[in-house]
């Protein structure tokens, strides 16, 4: 069964190549079909693997050895609860974003290039998630990042190029630090396999290199995840990209490249120390508050959403940083929820942009009459991100706050509550200025967006409403398996190595 693991990288990589090779020759219909089909296969595969993993695999872990080489000699790919959770999140979102892009990308030229880059980014993300080798992780991380730089600049206007340049420079700095970190670690343990690393680190008594490396990783992955104070590239980069890409960047890229990689390394390789927890929580709480205050004073819709991404990443970092079962559950659950509602919000902003060609909140008004679908889905997403029951964001925030108090961090709990209040305030602003009020004369004949775009917005909003059901006992395994992987800590090494040798 382990043979399905590499397909998560093979399928998107193949699609990317096929589109770039054949896209010029065939019509758009071919690109559309190919993209949707391969994305659909990925989605089914990830859902299937999640169910199979839970039901039929003992130990809930699959290890694929590339070329049959057993670790630590060869590269291996690992699919455990956490990877499977992330894969479902990423591919679910990518599927709907791909559907959305079919119509939305008509605004731009050169669809083949777009889909090529899109699938390359997906390759990178899926690769980061399933790989079991630290250097391999770095390679996939770079694939996703570079595709990301290109996609941010996709509009090739001055603003987009500037944002892309900033993103590229800062992203490269982060990558460089991650690379140095990996080099140091390699020098210390003489292996690159993550499981083997964890095993060897466990045997060493003097782990002098860890504080140094972890600082580098915090900075590098923290920048990829856009935690304050490493966040400054995000408010420029995310708004400049096409809306569907903003949805991918804010929805899953910062989490797969930043939070997931950091959590995997800190929890499963290093073994979480109190000091790492404290740093993660502090950065999380800081991001939560600083970014939401900044978001409140924005008038560019997409920029406002971008700041909220930083703020919400703060919640995730806070939850995971707590390190308690409930905290990690809240963090991961919020990760899933955030990826849904934030991408929905970006898709909404894209729909508005598509219909009236503006992103300025001051410029729009009363759009609910002309764009009812966008209005209602945006309302649902806004309520979700603001943590209004019974939408999904409420439940994850609830869990995070309860977890904070249970661990005795009442200040962080209060910060989370204040952040939630300010988030609500800023989405009230979006609702008021974009959708409510009187319709402006010049938008009298603005049209609702095409069907494919509506479809993905509606489905995502349905997930927002029903997201709370993931906490039901029969569906909890999806989250619990992921939580258990992180709670397992360095025991990850034994599980991977044992499974690989079987």
Partner 1 sequence: MINFYPWFRLDSLNAFIVLAIGLFSLLVIVYSARFRFIRRRIALQYYICIILTALASIITVLANNLILLLVCWGFLGLTLYLLINLGDVGSETAAKKTFIIVGGSDAFLLLGIAIIYHLTDSLQMDQIKIYLDARPLSLSVIAYLCIAVACFAKAGAMPFHSWIPDCAESAPVPVVAYLPASLDKLLGIYLLVRFSLDLFVMNEAMNTLLMVIGAFTIVAAVMMALIQHNIKRLLGYHAVSQVGYMVLGIGTGSPLGIAGGIFHMLNHAIYKSCLFLTVGNIEAKTGTVDLARLGGLAKSMPFTYISCLVASLSISGVPPFNGFFSKWMIYQELIQKINIRQWSVVSLACLVAAMFGSGLTLASFMKLMHATFLGQRANKSTSQQSKDVAWTMWLPCIILAVICIIFGIFASQIPLRYFILPAIGKIDFIGIWYPGLSTLLIIVGLLVGIIIFKFKDIKPIWRQDKSFTGAETQDYKLQRISGTDFYNTIKELGVLKTIYKKAEAGTFDIYEQGKTLIFTIGRIFQYLHNGVLPTYLVWGLLGMLGLFLVLLR
Residue numbers at the binding site for partner 1 (CB under 8 A):
165-166, 169-170, 173-174, 177, 211-212, 214-216, 218-219, 222-223, 229-230, 232-233, 235-236, 275, 279, 290, 293-294, 296-297, 383, 386-390, 394, 397-398, 401-402, 404-406, 410, 413-414, 417-418, 420-422, 424-425, 428-429, 431-432, 436-438
Nearest to partner 1 of 124, 171 (CB atom): 171
Shortest distance, CB of residue 465 to partner 1, whole angstroms? 12
Nearest to partner 1 of 59, 229 (CB atom): 229
Pairwise CA distance, residues 449 & 265, whole Å: 42
Nearest to partner 1 of 42, 367 (CB atom): 367
Shortest distance, CB of residue 265 to partner 1, whole angstroms? 14
Pairwise CA distance, residues 291 & 238, whole Å: 14
Shortest distance, CB of residue 471 to partner 1, whole angstroms? 10
Burial class for 220, CB neighbours closer than 10 Å (0-12, 13-18, 19+):
buried
Shortest distance, CB of residue 348 to partner 1, whole angstroms? 17
CA atoms within 13 A on the CB side of 250: 35
CB-based contacts of 158: which residues, under 8 Å, 6+ apart? none
Question: What letter does residue 193 receive in the DSSP assignment?
Answer: B
Torsion-angle region of residue 228: left (phi > 0), alpha (psi -120 to 50) or beta?
beta
Question: What letter does residue 61 receive in the DSSP assignment?
Answer: E
Nearest to partner 1 of 196, 236 (CB atom): 236
Pairwise CA distance, residues 224 & 255, whole Å: 8
Shortest distance, CB of residue 319 to partner 1, whole angstroms? 13
76 forms bridges with which residues in the sheet?
65
Assigned token pair, 303: 């920029």
Residue 57, φ and ψ in degrees, nearest 5: -105, 120
- Output helix, strand, coil percentages for the chain, rounded to the nearest 5: 80, 5, 20
Query: Residue 419's closest CA among 300, 237, 284, 263?
Result: 284
Nearest to partner 1 of 269, 386 (CB atom): 386
Shortest distance, CB of residue 418 to partner 1, whole angstroms? 8
Nearest to partner 1 of 155, 419 (CB atom): 419
Nearest to partner 1 of 31, 279 (CB atom): 279
Nearest to partner 1 of 134, 227 (CB atom): 227
Shortest distance, CB of residue 172 to partner 1, whole angstroms? 11
Assigned token pair, 136: 């391999």
Assigned token pair, 98: 């791909």
Shortest distance, CB of residue 160 to partner 1, whole angstroms? 14
Q: Please answer whether residues 331 and 317 qualify as being in contact, where contact means their C-beta atoms are separated by less than 8 angstroms.
A: yes
């Amino acid at each position: 069964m382990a043979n399905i693991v590499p397909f998560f990288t093979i399928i998107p990589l193949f699609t990317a190549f096929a589109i770039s090779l054949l896209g010029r020759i065939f019509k758009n219909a071919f690109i559309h079909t190919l993209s949707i089909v391969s994305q659909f296969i990925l989605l089914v595969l990830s859902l299937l693997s999640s169910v199979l993993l839970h039901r039929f695999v003992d130990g809930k872990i699959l290890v694929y050895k590339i070329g049959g080489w057993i670790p630590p000699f060869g590269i291996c790919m690992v699919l455990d609860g956490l990877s499977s959770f992330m894969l479902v999140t990423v591919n679910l979102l990518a599927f709907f974003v791909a559907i959305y892009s079919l119509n939305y990308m008509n605004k731009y030229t050169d669809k083949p290039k777009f889909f090529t880059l899109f699938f390359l980014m997906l390759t990178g993300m899926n690769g980061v998630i399933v790989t079991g080798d630290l250097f391999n992780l770095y390679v996939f991380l770079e694939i996703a990042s570079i595709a990301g730089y290109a996609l941010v600049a996709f509009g090739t206007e001055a603003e987009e190029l500037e944002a892309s340049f900033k993103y590229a420079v800062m992203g490269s700095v982060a990558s460089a630090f991650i690379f140095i970190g990996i080099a140091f670690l390699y020098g210390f343990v003489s292996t690159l396999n993550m499981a083997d690393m964890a095993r060897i680190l466990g045997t060493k008594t003097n782990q002098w290199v860890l504080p140094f490396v972890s600082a580098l990783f915090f900075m590098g992955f923290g920048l990829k995840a856009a935690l304050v104070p490493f966040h400054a590239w995000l408010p420029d980069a995310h708004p400049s990209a096409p809306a569907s890409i903003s949805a991918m960047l804010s929805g899953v890229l910062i989490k797969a490249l930043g939070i997931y990689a950091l959590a995997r390394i800190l929890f499963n390789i290093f073994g979480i120390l109190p000091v790492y927890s404290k740093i993660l929580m502090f950065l999380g709480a800081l991001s939560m508050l600083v970014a939401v205050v900044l978001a409140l004073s924005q008038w560019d819709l997409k920029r406002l959403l971008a700041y909220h991404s930083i703020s919400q990443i703060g919640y995730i970092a806070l939850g995971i940083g707590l390190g308690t079962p409930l905290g990690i559950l809240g963090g991961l659950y919020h990760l899933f929820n955030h990826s849904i509602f934030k991408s929905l919000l970006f898709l909404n902003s894209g729909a508005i942009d598509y219909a009236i060609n503006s992103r300025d909140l001051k410029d729009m008004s009363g759009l609910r009459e002309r764009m009812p679908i966008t209005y209602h889905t945006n309302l649902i997403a806004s309520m979700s991100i603001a943590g209004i029951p019974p939408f999904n964001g409420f439940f994850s925030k609830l869990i995070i706050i309860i977890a904070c108090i249970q661990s005795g961090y009442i200040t962080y709990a209060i910060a989370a509550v204040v952040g939630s209040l300010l988030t609500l305030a800023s989405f009230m602003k979006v609702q008021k200025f974009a959708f409510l009020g009187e319709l402006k004369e010049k938008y009298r004949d603005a049209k609702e967006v095409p069907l494919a775009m509506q479809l993905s917005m509606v489905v995502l909003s349905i997930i927002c409403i029903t997201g709370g059901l993931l906490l039901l006992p029969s569906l909890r395994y999806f989250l619990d398996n992921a939580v258990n992987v992180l709670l397992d800590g360095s025991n990850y090494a034994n599980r991977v190595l044992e499974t690989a040798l079987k």
